[in-house]
Amino acid sequence: MDKDRIIEKQQQIIALTNKFCKEVLQDDEYAMLAEKMVLKMGRKRHVPFETGQIEIWAAAVIHALGTINFLFDKSAKPYTSVDEISQFFGANKSTTTGKSKTIRDLLKLSYWDSEFSTSRMRGGNPFNNLMMSGGFIVPKSFLK
């Protein structure tokens, strides 16, 4: 796929994720992280969204971000469900979940990811107050 087509698809996916973040999540940070994720995928040697529907990839981007940021936890804010994501984008739930896994594997995403976690998640990271000392993991407060 040529670079112009990749850029065009990126813009289409970003427009869809921005719309979801504005209308459903009402969260600008998720929109910014989704855009960052799409742009990063577009720089890969094998761009994953070269094939497939842009709506499915947009749903998968939101799902991947949601997975690592606990978006599906009802006690979290913002909150949404996988069903709501799938319905919004007109995507099959299992296809969305599968593409999300592809994205998470490609970008090596995990919980408390330093690049794609929301500021709320980074602030609540339980590992923030731990460090290695003498080969042991200890709370930073022990070393004062």
pLDDT per position as a tens digit, 6-55: 999 999 999 999 999 999 999 999 999 999 999 999 999 899 999 999 99
Write down the pLDDT at residue 47.
93
Write down the pLDDT at residue 131.
72
pLDDT per position as a tens digit, 95-110: 999 999 999 999 999 8
Domains of the chain: 3-143 (1.10.472.10)
With cut-offs at 50, 70 and 90, classify the pLDDT of residue 118: confident
pLDDT per position as a tens digit, 54-110: 999 999 999 999 999 999 999 888 999 999 999 999 999 999 999 999 999 999 998
| Beta strand pairing call for 130-133 and 136-139 | antiparallel
C-alpha distances in angstroms, 13 versus 16, 30, 109, 122, 138? 5, 14, 19, 26, 43
